[in-house]
C-alpha cells in the first residue's frame, strides 16, 4: 500500500532478521509476531537464486519476472494504444490497469513513468516474480514456497483492481490469467443435489469472452460491464453486480462452488456441503483474502431479449446539473415494476456538463421504454437541459451489456460522455491512468421523501474537485428478494437503491507529496459529501469499487459480517498469507502488508 513508512520498515527489518535466522521447511509457515516482517531482498532469509530456480523447476519452468509496464515500455517500446489497453495489460504479470498501483509513492524506489523522462526504472510496487500458473499444482507449489520462505504474496487475475490489491512490493505473484476453462452444464450436481444449468469458469476468463461463449449456449450469467474483468477473480469475491442484477441477483447470489488453493497448500472445493464456512466468506467477504481460486461455478439462465435505452442530457450551469440530479432522484422508482438496471454518469465542466444514461430492461420494447423514460426526460427539459436524441437497441443481454459501457475510467479524465449513435460492442477497457475510486450504497430509504439535497450534494462534490460521478442502479428487485441468502456480502446491498462512486485522477508528473494530498482530500473532503447522501451513520460500500484508504472499511465493506469473516480468516489462513489492503485481517498489518503491526 502506498503510504508505508520506509524508515519504519527498515527498523523492523533489523528486528526481524535476528528473529528469522532458522527457516524451517514447514509447509504451512508460521505466524509473525508484532513488529516482524515478511522476507525481503537483502534479508539473509530471502530465497537464494538456487531456491528460486528450484521453485521454477517445481512449476514446470513457469516462474517469470514481473516487470513494471513503464520499464517494459522503456526497454522494449510500446504504443499509446498498448498503454491504454486492458487486453495488453492482462497478458503482463507486472501490469495493473490503473498504473498508479505499480508506483511506490511512499518508498524511494518509484518506478519510471512513461510520460515523464527518468533515467532509472525501479520495481515500484510490482512483484518480483510471478508464477504463470495453469494448474492447481503450480499454485500449490507457490503457496508452499511462500509459506516456507516467509514471502509476501499477491494474487492477480486481470489486474483491474481499483484498490491496488492485486500487486504488492517485493512479493511473489500467483497469477491466474491462464486458467481458461469454460464448461457449461445443463444439470450441475454436487453430491445428490442438482443446481440446474451452470457454467464453471476459470479464474483467467474475461467477461467479454464468457458473454460470447454463453451466447452460443443460449445462456446468460450475472456479469459486469467490462472486457477483461475476470468473472472468477475479484468480481465474484466482492459481490459482482450487473445491469440485470435486479432480475437475476448478484454474482454471489448465483455462485454454486469455488475451487481454491488454501494457505496450507490444499486444493479444495468450497460449496454448501464442503467447507461451507469458506463458501460463505468467498461470497462477498472481499477479494484476495481467502486463497487462490482456480474456478467458480455459477448458475446460468436462458438467454432472453432485452432493450437498452441511451441518451445524454447536457446542462450548462452547476445549479442546473444539481437540479437535474435531484430530478433523477425523484424519478428513481419509475421503472421498478420492470426491474430495470441503469448506469448514469455526470461528467464535463460546470458550464458544459453531460449526464449519460443507459437503461437496460428485460422483455420490453424500445417504444415502451422510451415512453417510460419520458416523465424524467420531460422534467430535465423543463429545467432547461438539452436531451440529445434517444436510441434503443433490442438484443440479447450478452450483446447489449457491451453497448452500455461508458468506461468507468473515462469519467476520470473528465472525458466527454458517450454520445448516442451507432451501437458498437466495446473492444477493450480503458487503462493506463492514475485512478482511485470511492463509493457508497445509497439506500432505498434515502430516495423516499424530499431528495432536493441530492442536487446540492452533487454540486458540492463536483466543486470539491472530483471530476466524475458515476451511479449504478443495479440493486432492488431480485437483489432485495435475495436478502435472506446466507452470504458474507454486506446486507446494505439488499436495501440499496443505487451504488454511487466518485473517482479521482492525477498526472504521472504529479509529485508524490501532492498525490498524497489529492488522495487525502478525496477520502476526507469529497467522500463525506457522498456519505451524507446515505443518511446513515453505518453506511456501506461495494468493496470491489471503493477507496483502499476507506477509514472504517470493516464496517463499510462488510457490516455485521466482519466478526465471522475474521474467525473464518483465522481458520483458513492463520498466518495471514493472503493480506490485501482494506481486506479481512489487514488491520494486523502495515499498509504494505509487509510487517505485522
Ligand X SMILES: Cc1cc2nc3c(=O)[nH]c(=O)nc-3n(C[C@H](O)[C@H](O)[C@H](O)COP(=O)(O)OP(=O)(O)OC[C@H]3O[C@@H](n4cnc5c(N)ncnc54)[C@H](O)[C@@H]3O)c2cc1C
Q: Is 229 in the site for ligand X (CB under 6 A)?
A: yes
Question: Interface with ligand X by CB under 6 A: which range of 25-33, 109-117, 149-157, 300-308?
Answer: 149-157
CB 235 to ligand X: min, Å: 4
Identify what 123 binds: ligand X, ligand NAG, none; CB under 5 to 8 Å per kind. Answer: none
Overall size of the chain counted in residues: 597
Identify what 192 binds: ligand NAG, ligand X, none; CB under 5 to 8 Å per kind. Answer: ligand NAG
CA 84-89-90 angle, to 5 degrees, is 135
Q: How far apart are CA 584 and CA 577, in angstroms?
A: 12
Closest CA to 590 of 264, 102, 169: 169
Burial class (CB in 10 A: 0-12, 13-18, 19+), 389: exposed
CB 156 to ligand X: min, Å: 4
Q: How far apart are CA 573 and CA 136, in angstroms?
A: 18
CB 424 within 8 A of CB 404: no
Identify what 518 binds: ligand NAG, ligand X, none; CB under 5 to 8 Å per kind. Answer: ligand NAG
For residue 438, the number of C-alpha atoms closer than 13 Å in the C-beta half-sphere is: 25
CB 147 to ligand X: min, Å: 16
Contacts to ligand X from residues 260-289, by CB under 6 A: 287-288
Q: How many positions of this chain bind ligand X (CB under 6 A)?
A: 33
CB 37 to ligand X: min, Å: 20
- CA separation (Å) from 189 to 12, 196, 221, 278? 51, 8, 18, 19
Q: Is 247 in the site for ligand X (CB under 6 A)?
A: no
Identify what 160 binds: ligand NAG, ligand X, none; CB under 5 to 8 Å per kind. Answer: ligand X
Burial class (CB in 10 A: 0-12, 13-18, 19+), 192: exposed
Contacts to ligand X from residues 402-461, by CB under 6 A: 408, 429
Q: Is 99 in the site for ligand X (CB under 6 A)?
A: no
Kindly list the residues in this chain that would bind ligand NAG in the complex (CB under 6 A).
Answer: 56, 61, 63-65, 93, 108, 116-117, 129, 132, 134, 178, 191-192, 316, 348, 352, 384, 386, 416, 453, 465, 481, 483-484, 514, 517-518, 521, 525, 529, 532
Q: How far apart are CA 585 and CA 578, in angstroms?
A: 9
For residue 552, the number of C-alpha atoms closer than 13 Å in the C-beta half-sphere is: 12
Q: Is 159 in the site for ligand X (CB under 6 A)?
A: yes
CB 348 to ligand NAG: min, Å: 6
Residue 214 or 261 having the CB closest to ligand NAG: 261
CB 404 to ligand X: min, Å: 9
Residue 122 or 396 having the CB closest to ligand NAG: 122
- CA separation (Å) from 227 to 242, 393, 429? 13, 20, 6
Q: Is 89 in the site for ligand X (CB under 6 A)?
A: no
Q: Which residues pair with 198 in a beta bridge?
A: 185, 299
What is the four-CA torsion angle of 546, 551, 556, 562, rounded to 10 degrees? 120
Among 233, 455, 467, 471, the residue binding ligand X under the rule CB under 6 A is: 233
Residue 587: other Cβ atoms inside 10 A:
12
CB 166 to ligand X: min, Å: 3
CB 484 to ligand NAG: min, Å: 4
CB 450 to ligand X: min, Å: 31
Binding mask 548-567 for ligand X (x = CB under 6 A): --------------------
Question: Interface with ligand X by CB under 6 A: which range of 162-170, 350-358, 363-371, 413-421?
Answer: 162-170
Q: Is 225 in the site for ligand X (CB under 6 A)?
A: yes
CB 558 within 8 A of CB 286: yes
What is the four-CA torsion angle of 16, 21, 22, 23, rounded to 10 degrees? 50
CB 83 within 8 A of CB 70: no
Report DSSP state, residue 206: B
Q: Is 240 in the site for ligand X (CB under 6 A)?
A: yes
Contacts to ligand X from residues 192-221, by CB under 6 A: 203
Query: How far apart, in Å, do the first and last CA atoms of the chain sit?
Result: 14
Among 16, 105, 221, 235, the residue binding ligand X under the rule CB under 6 A is: 235
Among 89, 156, 219, 339, the residue binding ligand X under the rule CB under 6 A is: 156
What contacts 24+ positions apart, CB below 8 Å, involve 21-26? 21/45, 23/148, 23/149, 23/150, 24/148, 25/148, 26/147, 26/148
Q: Is 580 in the site for ligand X (CB under 6 A)?
A: yes
Among 94, 136, 142, 238, the residue binding ligand X under the rule CB under 6 A is: 238
Q: What are phi and psi of 255, to 5 degrees?
A: -80, 130
Among 102, 104, 161, 550, the residue binding ligand X under the rule CB under 6 A is: 161
Identify what 453 binds: ligand NAG, ligand X, none; CB under 5 to 8 Å per kind. Answer: ligand NAG
Q: Which residues bind ligand X (CB under 6 A)?
A: 97, 155-162, 165-166, 176, 203, 224-226, 229-230, 233-235, 238, 240-241, 287-288, 292-293, 408, 429, 544-545, 580
Amino acid at each position: 500500500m502506498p503510504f508505508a513508512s520506509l524508515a519504519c520498515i527498515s527498523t523492523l527489518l533489523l528486528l526481524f532478521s535476528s528473529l528469522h535466522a532458522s527457516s524451517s521447511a514447514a509447509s504451512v509457515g508460521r505466524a509473525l509476531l508484532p513488529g516482524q516482517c515478511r522476507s525481503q531482498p537483502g534479508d539473509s532469509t530471502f530465497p537464494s537464486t538456487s531456491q528460486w530456480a528450484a521453485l521454477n523447476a517445481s512449476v514446470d519452468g513457469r516462474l517469470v519476472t514481473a516487470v513494471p509496464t513503464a520499464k517494459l515500455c522503456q526497454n522494449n517500446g510500446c504504443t499509446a494504444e498498448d498503454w491504454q489497453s486492458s487486453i495488453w495489460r492482462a497478458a503482463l504479470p507486472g501490469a495493473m490497469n490503473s498504473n498508479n498501483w505499480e508506483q511506490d509513492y511512499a518508498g524511494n524506489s518509484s518506478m519510471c513513468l512513461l510520460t515523464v523522462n527518468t533515467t532509472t526504472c525501479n520495481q515500484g510496487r510490482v512483484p518480483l516474480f510471478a508464477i504463470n500458473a495453469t494448474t492447481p499444482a503450480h499454485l500449490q507449489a507457490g503457496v508452499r514456497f511462500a509459506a516456507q520462505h516467509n514471502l509476501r504474496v499477491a494474487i492477480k487475475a486481470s489486474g483491474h483492481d481499483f484498490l491496488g490489491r492485486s500487486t504488492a512490493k517485493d512479493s511473489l505473484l500467483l497469477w491466474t490469467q491462464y486458467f481458461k476453462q469454460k464448461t457449461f452444464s445443463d444439470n450441475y450436481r454436487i453430491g445428490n443435489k442438482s443446481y440446474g444449468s451452470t457454467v464453471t469458469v476459470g479464474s483467467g476468463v474475461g467477461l467479454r469472452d464468457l458473454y460470447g461463449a454463453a451466447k452460443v449456449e443460449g445462456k446468460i450469467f450475472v456479469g459486469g460491464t467490462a472486457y477483461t474483468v475476470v468473472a472468477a477473480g475479484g468480481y465474484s469475491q466482492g459481490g459482482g453486480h450487473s445491469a440485470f442484477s435486479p432480475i437475476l441477483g448478484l454474482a454471489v447470489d448465483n455462485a454454486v462452488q469455488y475451487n481454491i488453493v488454501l494457505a496450507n497448500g490444499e486444493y479444495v472445493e468450497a460449496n454448501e456441503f464442503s467447507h461451507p464456512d469458506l463458501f460463505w466468506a468467498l461470497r462477498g467477504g472481499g477479494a484476495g483474502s481467502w486463497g487462490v481460486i482456480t474456478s467458480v461455478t455459477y448458475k446460468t439462465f436462458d438467454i432472453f431479449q432485452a432493450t437498452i435505452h441511451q441518451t445524454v442530457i447536457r446542462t450548462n450551469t452547476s445549479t442546473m446539473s444539481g437540479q437535474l440530479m435531484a430530478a433523477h432522484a425523484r424519478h428513481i422508482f419509475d421503472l421498478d415494476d420492470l426491474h430495470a438496471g441503469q448506469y448514469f454518469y455526470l461528467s464535463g465542466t460546470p458550464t458544459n456538463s453531460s449526464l449519460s444514461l443507459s437503461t437496460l430492461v428485460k422483455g420490453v420494447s424500445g417504444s415502451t421504454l422510451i415512453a417510460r423514460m419520458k416523465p424524467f426526460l420531460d422534467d430535465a427539459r423543463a429545467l432547461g437541459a438539452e436531451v440529445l436524441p434517444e436510441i434503443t437497441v433490442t438484443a440479447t443481454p450478452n450483446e447489449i451489456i457491451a453497448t452500455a459501457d461508458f468506461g468507468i475510467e473515462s469519467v476520470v479524465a473528465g472525458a466527454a460522455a458517450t454520445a448516442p449513435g451507432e451501437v458498437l460492442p466495446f473492444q477493450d477497457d480503458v487503462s493506463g491512468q492514475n485512478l482511485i475510486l470511492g463509493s457508497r450504497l445509497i439506500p432505498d430509504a434515502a430516495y423516499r421523501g424530499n431528495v432536493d439535497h441530492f442536487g446540492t450534494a452533487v454540486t458540492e462534490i463536483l466543486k470539491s474537485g472530483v471530476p466524475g460521478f458515476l451511479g449504478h442502479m443495479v440493486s432492488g428487485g431480485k437483489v432485495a428478494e435475495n436478502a435472506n441468502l446466507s452470504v458474507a456480502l454486506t446486507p446494505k446491498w439488499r436495501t440499496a437503491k443505487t451504488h454511487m462512486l466518485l473517482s479521482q485522477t492525477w498526472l504521472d508528473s504529479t509529485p508524490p507529496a501532492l498525490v498524497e494530498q489529492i488522495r487525502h482530500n478525496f477520502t476526507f473532503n469529497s467522500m463525506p459529501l457522498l456519505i451524507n447522501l446515505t443518511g446513515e451513520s453505518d453506511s456501506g460500500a461495494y468493496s470491489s469499487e471503493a477507496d483502499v484508504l476507506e477509514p472504517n472499511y470493516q464496517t463499510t465493506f462488510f457490516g455485521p459480517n466482519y466478526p465471522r469473516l475474521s474467525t473464518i480468516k483465522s481458520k483458513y489462513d492463520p498466518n495471514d498469507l493472503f493480506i490485501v489492503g482494506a481486506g479481512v485481517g489487514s488491520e494486523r498489518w502495515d499498509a504494505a502488508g509487509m510487517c505485522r503491526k
